Chain A
């Protein structure tokens, strides 16, 4: 006989990195209904960006939306503001922005992979992935001056150049990381207990992914070749021959593999960008104030990050609208959880790599 019970997960739970609350309706062990509450860390960022801070400061405010993808937020805002100002950006700065964005993607993907390993009870792989992640954190610190809240991108360019010593350090760390990630990939691909835990679990079909406007690695693991790096010319990805990664299974395993393969692609992009790094200035003189409406999106580690700006030539913006990938992925997450075994819920949630600081802002 079926017995229906309601089980809460969160808002504080050992399987969750950030506060979010799920309420599962279960028939025996099977999840049949899900409700999600995502608003635990709302900080009023959009209001602050139009009332407290001037447009030149806002890039540094939005970097505080999220510790993991700070550079993505400041890049997206800056590109939107530059469009409204008709601001030119030196080619060297565009390449440096691309390198910083890809370093950010690598460290975010590695955190997610470590977390999913932890959720499978594979503590050793969790610790190893976090240890190897330090390589990219060191490269990031050398390049931007900080490990997490780096204020690297600014209107007109970037705030720091890289020296030949820093370039050598980035290349050395990425060379080591490539080897380490190769070993981690081998484990995710072939370890029996990880396969048992992840293959065929938390499936999002391509049809479901389309219907729920799925984004990022989630969509690409379901066979949808959708990546803003292909769909927009916001940074010189086209010049470096960016190739997106897709898989078709749509399960936790496929999402992990997409992230792992994307780490290799990010390393290749950074190495190509360093090889072809243009000479010249890192920032152009900023002139004028923003006017009009701008729609801008960039590819964050979790998918499409969108900024809308409205300005009328003043120092303060009229409206800043931020849409983050996790917020848009909640309906797809709910679909993946329905029909799953309750015991798999933490691993399914972790495989979406949810970022609640971004979501609630």
Chain B
């Protein structure tokens, strides 16, 4: 398995992915989020179509309360993952709203909890 991680900044992630993404060459897998040391790390994962286990993962970090760029116009499924991470991690993507995944009276950002 080949996983290439490409760190970038939140300011540049949109232009970097826009330049990289060809929907017939790369399959958009999902957006992943981690919360460590009061910082959010967001990962955009892609696999190469027709290649065995070839991954490209763009990652960018931001403070926990930052407004994050939405890629929903570029990757339609991103809207789902952005809404999910908004509820589970309080990752504040542009134009995302709370309540898509957890009811509004449900727990707040449960994945920010520590063991």
Contacts and interface: CB of A to CB of B under 8 A. Distances in A.
B111 A328 contact: no
Given A46-B88, A232-B52, A297 B29 contact: yes
A53 B75 CA distance: 34
A38 B50 contact: no
B101 A226 contact: no
Given A42-B101, A51-B113, A331 B76 contact: yes
Interface string B17-47: 0000001100111101110100000010101
B49 interface: yes
A42 B102 contact: yes
Contacts of A293: 3
A331 B77 CA distance: 6
A115 to B, nearest CB: 23
Given A212-B76, A331-B76, A331-B77, A323 B30 contact: yes
B29 A323 contact: yes
A273 B107 CA distance: 46
A231 B29 contact: no
A316 B47 contact: no
Given A210-B23, A232-B52, A297-B47, A331 B80 contact: yes
Contacts, number: 87
A328 B77 contact: yes
Interface string A67-87: 000000000000000010000
Interface stretch (A126-134, A156-164, A304-312, A341-349): A304-312
A323 B101 CA distance: 13
Contacts of A42: 101-102, 106
A39 B102 CA distance: 6
B88 A295 contact: no
A44 B108 CA distance: 12
Contacts of A306: 29-30, 45
B45 A213 contact: no
Interface of B: 1, 3, 23-24, 27-30, 32-34, 36, 43, 45, 47, 49-53, 55, 57, 75-77, 79-81, 84, 87-88, 99-103, 106-107, 110-111, 113, 115
Question: 7 shortest A-B CB distances, which residue pairs?
Answer: A323-B30, A39-B101, A331-B76, A210-B23, A213-B28, A213-B77, A51-B115
Given A213-B28, A232-B53, A318-B34, 10 more contacts: A39-B87, A47-B111, A83-B1, A231-B50, A231-B52, A232-B52, A308-B43, A318-B36, A323-B81, A360-B101
